[in-house]
Amino acid sequence: MTSTPAPTTPHPSGAAPAWRRVAAQAAFETRMILRNGEQLLVTVALPVILLVGLVQTHVVSLDTEGATRVDFVTPGVLALAVMSTAFTSQAIATAFDRRNGVLRLLATTPLGRGGLLAGKVLGVLAVEVVQIVVIAGVALAMGWRPDVAGVPAALGAALLGTAAFTSLALLLAGVLRAEGVLAVANLVLVLLVVGGGILVPAGRLAGPLAHLAVLLPSGALGEAMRGALLGHGVPAFSVVVLLGWTAAFGWGAARLFRWH
């Protein structure tokens, strides 16, 4: 060895407290989503356009079961907003972060893998708060009068839906190539909006879809949101379905997620 002995400088290294690391990651994720034009289009603009379109025009005829059009449509649009953020947007963002090595780099900082996951979930919830405020604001301006007593149950349903759809997002993002995730996540969103019982109640869908959709996480979330905000209560069946999908997707993501 030709080098001189190293001076023993103290290294005051150490991690920031866990809550600060996770909070920083959540803020970082939220900023990245809200600053991305395409993500904003899918998560905020699309639901608002659907809401206004379905309420103000009669292009789509709806049997509102005696409720006003806005009362009937808004819970489904909120469910769609949750799905677009927790699933489509999160799957695409995570897939590209995985491809670009962002997940691996952050996993080597004190944040770690657990902190990264927690930051992502909190980031999703923060974006959902923005979505709910915007959509509810537009709906209220159009005369939406939700059942106030059902609001806590609706928030609970939104949390459950977030858990199920975020798990699915991580499963896809951790298994498929980024380009594949981009295609699949958008396709699944469109299919679930059309035939997944999220905007149109499952029972109103054609043929076997009526039975299938209540078993899908989209149908379960849609039914739960409508039940809570229209004052009928959240169907227990929907809660069971959402919990089941969360467990299945979560198990799959934990087992199959590849960091490289």
Partner 1 sequence: MPSSPALPGAAVVVRGLVKRYGDRAVVDGLSLEAAPGQVTAVLGPNGAGKTTTIECCEGLRAPDEGTVHVLGLDPRTDAAALRPRVGVMLQDGGLPTGVRAVEMLRHVAAMYARPRDVAELVERLGLASFARTTVRRLSGGQRQRLALAAAVVGRPEVVFLDEPSAGMDPQSRLAVWELVHELRADGVAIVLTTHLMDEAEQLADVVHVVDHGSVIASGTVPDLLASSGTPDGETSVRFEAPAGLPLDGLSSALGAAGAGTGPRWTVAEPRPGSYVVTGPADPAAVAALTAWLADRDALVSSLTVGRRTLEDVFLDLTGRHLR
Give the binding site for partner 1 (CB under 8 A).
Answer: 1-9, 11-17, 20-21, 24-25, 28, 31-32, 35-36, 96-97, 100-112, 259-260
State which residue, 43 or 218, has the beta carbon closest to partner 1.
Answer: 43
CA 201 to chain centre: 20
State which residue, 115 or 217, has the beta carbon closest to partner 1.
Answer: 115
Instruction: Kindly state the smallest distance separating residue 116's Cβ from partner 1, in Å.
Output: 11
CA 159 to chain centre: 9
Instruction: Kindly state the smallest distance separating residue 74's Cβ from partner 1, in Å.
Output: 31
Instruction: Kindly state the smallest distance separating residue 171's Cβ from partner 1, in Å.
Output: 21
DSSP labels, 143-184: T----GGGHHHHHHHHHHHHHHHHHHHHHHHHHS-HHHHHHH
Alpha carbon separation from 174 to 76, 139, 168, 241 (Å, rounded): 29, 36, 10, 23
State which residue, 136 or 175, has the beta carbon closest to partner 1.
Answer: 175
* DSSP H or E run through 124: helix 112-141
Asked if 62 contacts 69 with a C-beta cutoff of 8 angstroms, the reply is yes
State which residue, 31 or 232, has the beta carbon closest to partner 1.
Answer: 31
State which residue, 67 or 102, has the beta carbon closest to partner 1.
Answer: 102
Instruction: Kindly state the smallest distance separating residue 119's Cβ from partner 1, in Å.
Output: 10
Instruction: Kindly state the smallest distance separating residue 129's Cβ from partner 1, in Å.
Output: 20
